[in-house]
C-alpha cells in the first residue's frame, strides 16, 4: 500500500476526495483540523454515546440513565467541546439517552475500530447481529432527516455496509440505520450482496484515483483543484475559489451574521425573481416565445389528468393485483374536516401512517401588512 494513502483510507476521506480534492488534501494529507460547529458537535456527541454504551456493556445493563451524566462529563473531558455548543450537545445526549436501550443479546461492538481485512480505518457507532442480518447504527446530529432514498444513496451507508460484509461475513443482509437524534427518527436501509459488490468496485476506483492524483502531484507539483458544490456550504477551510467569489460562484457562511446576510439576499432575490417572472409571463403572452442563452420562455399547453380513486382500485383489483396506492391528506381533507363527513373521520384517521422528516423552507415569524404569510417557496 502506498504510504501516502495511509491517512486517506477511511470513509470520510474517500467521500471528500470524490467531492473536492482540495478539501481532501487539506484535511487528510496536511492534517488541517475541521473546526466547523457541525464537526465539533458530532464528535463530542459520539464521544458521549461511546462512553455511555461502554459503561452499560461493562455492567451488562441495557439501560441506566444514572450513568448518563457521568458519561457526559468523562466524554467532554476527553473530547473538549466549544462552550457555545456544550449546552446543545448536552440536550441532544439527554434526549438520546431517554430512548436508547442497548440490545445485549445482539451487541457486536460500539464506537470501536474493528480489524478491517483490507486495512481501511473504520469507526462504527454500533453494530448488532440479528439472525441473518448484520445491523449498523449511526447517529446524526443534523437539523434534517434524510429520506430512505437519500440514505440508501449516501456513500457513508454504502461504505459501512460493504466494510461490514468484509469484517463480519456470512450475513444475508447488511442493514444500515441512520438515527437523526434531534428528531428521534430512524431511517433503515438494506443492502444485498449484489449491491455491495458495486460499492466495492466504486471504492477501488476512488482509491485508484487517489493514488494517481498523488503521483501526479508529486511529479509535477500540480495544485489540488477546489471543486464548488453542496459541500461548500459547510466547509470551514480557506478556499481559493469560494473566498473570492463572483456573482455566480457558490456562497458559504461561517458565522450567524453571514448566514443572516445570505438569508436577506435570498429574500431580496426571491422578490426580484418573482417580479421578473411576472414581467416575462406578460410579455410572452403578448409577443410570443423569448429565447435567451439557450432557454425559451413561453406559455406552453398544459394538461392535467386525474383518475377517480375508487374506479382505479376496482380496475387493479379486478386484474388480480392488490393496489399499493397511498393517498395524501390533502386529497381527503374534506372528509376529515367537514362536519357532514364526521362519521367517517375516525375511520380515516385510523388508517394514517405518519413518517417523520424535515423540509427546508421559510415562513413568516412577524406580521406584514398585505402579506398572506406562507410564501409557498419551500425547497425539499
> 331 is written with which cell numbers?
386529497
> Taking the CB of residue 11, how many other CB atoms lie within 10 A of it?
20
> Pick from 199, 203, 200, 154: which is nearest to 176 by CA?
154
- Domain boundaries defined on the chain: 3-217, 256-297, 309-350
Would the pTM count as exceeding 0.75?
no
Q: H helices of the chain, where?
A: 11-19, 21-24, 37-59, 67-78, 83-99, 148-153, 155-167, 193-220, 256-287, 309-318, 333-337, 342-350
How far is 126 from 169, CA to CA, in rounded Å? 17
In sequence order, the β-bridge partners of residue 92 are none
CATH pick for 3-217 out of 3.30.300, 2.40.350, 3.90.320, 3.40.30: 3.90.320
CA 283 to chain centre: 41
CB 22 within 8 A of CB 50: no
DSSP per residue, 139-189: EE--SS---HHHHHH-HHHHHHHHHHHHHSTT-SEEEEEEEETTTTEEEEE
Long-range Cβ contact pairs of 193-198 (< 8 A, separation 24 or more): 193/165, 195/158, 195/161, 196/158, 196/161, 196/162, 196/165
> Taking the CB of residue 127, how many other CB atoms lie within 10 A of it?
20
> Taking the CB of residue 285, how many other CB atoms lie within 10 A of it?
10
Tens of pLDDT along 239-286?
A: 877 666 555 556 777 778 778 878 877 877 787 788 888 888 888 877
CB 141 within 8 A of CB 45: yes
pLDDT of residue 364: 72
Tens of pLDDT along 118-159?
A: 888 888 889 999 999 999 999 999 888 899 999 999 999 999
**What H or E segment, with its residue span, contains residue 124?**
strand 124-130
How far is 225 from 22, CA to CA, in rounded Å? 5
In sequence order, the β-bridge partners of residue 109 are 127
Burial class (CB in 10 A: 0-12, 13-18, 19+), 171: middle
Q: Provide the pairing of β-strand 290-292 with 295-297.
A: antiparallel
How far is 354 from 78, CA to CA, in rounded Å? 39
Residue ranges, the chain, pLDDT below 50: 1-5, 367-380
How far is 92 from 199, CA to CA, in rounded Å? 32
36, 39, 43, 46: CA torsion to nearest 10:
140
CB 47 within 8 A of CB 79: yes
> 116 is written with which cell numbers?
478491517
CB 217 within 8 A of CB 224: yes
For the chain, the distance separating the N- and C-terminal CA atoms, rounded to the nearest angstrom, is 42
pLDDT of residue 250: 62
Give the CA diameter of the chain. Answer: 79
pLDDT of residue 236: 78
What angle (nearest 5°) sits at the alpha carbon of residue 205, between those of residues 112 and 234? 60
Amino acid at each position: 500500500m502506498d504510504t501516502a494513502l495511509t491517512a486517506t483510507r477511511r470513509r470520510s476521506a474517500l467521500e471528500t476526495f470524490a467531492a473536492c480534492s482540495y478539501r481532501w488534501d487539506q484535511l487528510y494529507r496536511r492534517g488541517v483540523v475541521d473546526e466547523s460547529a457541525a464537526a465539533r458537535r458530532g464528535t463530542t456527541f459520539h464521544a458521549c454515546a461511546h462512553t455511555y454504551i461502554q459503561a452499560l456493556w461493562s455492567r451488562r445493563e441495557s439501560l441506566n440513565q444514572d450513568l448518563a451524566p457521568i458519561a457526559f462529563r468523562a466524554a467532554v473531558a476527553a473530547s473538549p467541546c466549544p462552550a457555545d455548543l456544550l449546552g446543545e450537545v448536552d440536550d441532544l445526549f439527554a434526549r438520546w439517552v431517554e430512548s436508547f436501550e442497548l440490545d445485549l443479546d445482539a451487541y457486536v461492538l460500539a464506537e470501536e475500530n474493528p480489524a478491517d481485512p483490507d486495512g481501511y480505518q473504520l469507526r462504527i457507532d454500533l453494530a448488532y447481529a440479528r439472525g441473518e442480518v448484520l445491523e449498523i447504527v449511526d447517529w446524526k446530529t443534523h437539523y434534517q432527516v434524510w429520506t430512505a432514498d437519500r440514505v440508501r444513496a449516501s456513500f457513508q451507508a454504502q461504505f459501512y455496509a460493504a466494510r461490514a460484509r468484509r469484517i463480519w461475513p456470512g450475513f444475508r443482509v447488511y442493514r444500515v440505520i441512520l438515527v437523526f437524534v434531534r428528531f428521534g427518527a430512524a431511517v433503515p436501509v438494506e443492502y444485498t450482496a449484489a449491491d455491495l459488490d458495486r460499492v466495492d468496485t466504486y471504492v477501488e476506483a476512488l482509491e485508484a484515483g487517489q493514488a494517481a492524483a498523488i503521483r501526479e502531484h508529486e511529479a509535477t507539483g500540480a495544485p489540488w483543484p477546489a471543486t464548488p458544490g453542496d459541500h461548500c456550504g459547510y466547509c470551514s477551510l480557506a478556499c481559493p475559489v469560494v473566498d473570492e467569489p463572483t456573482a455566480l460562484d457558490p456562497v458559504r457562511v461561517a458565522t450567524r451574521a453571514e448566514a443572516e446576510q445570505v438569508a436577506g439576499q435570498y429574500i431580496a432575490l426571491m422578490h426580484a425573481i418573482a417580479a421578473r417572472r411576472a414581467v416575462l409571463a406578460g410579455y410572452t403572452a403578448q409577443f410570443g416565445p423569448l429565447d435567451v442563452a439557450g432557454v425559451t420562455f413561453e406559455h406552453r399547453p398544459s394538461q392535467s389528468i386525474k383518475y377517480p380513486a375508487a374506479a382505479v382500485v376496482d380496475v387493479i383489483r379486478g386484474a388480480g393485483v392488490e393496489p399499493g396506492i397511498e393517498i395524501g391528506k390533502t386529497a381527503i381533507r374534506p372528509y376529515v374536516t367537514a362536519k357532514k363527513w364526521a362519521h367517517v373521520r375516525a375511520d380515516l384517521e385510523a388508517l394514517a401512517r405518519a413518517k417523520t422528516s424535515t423540509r427546508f423552507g421559510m415562513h413568516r415569524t412577524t406580521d406584514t401588512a398585505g402579506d398572506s404569510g406562507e410564501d409557498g417557496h419551500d425547497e425539499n
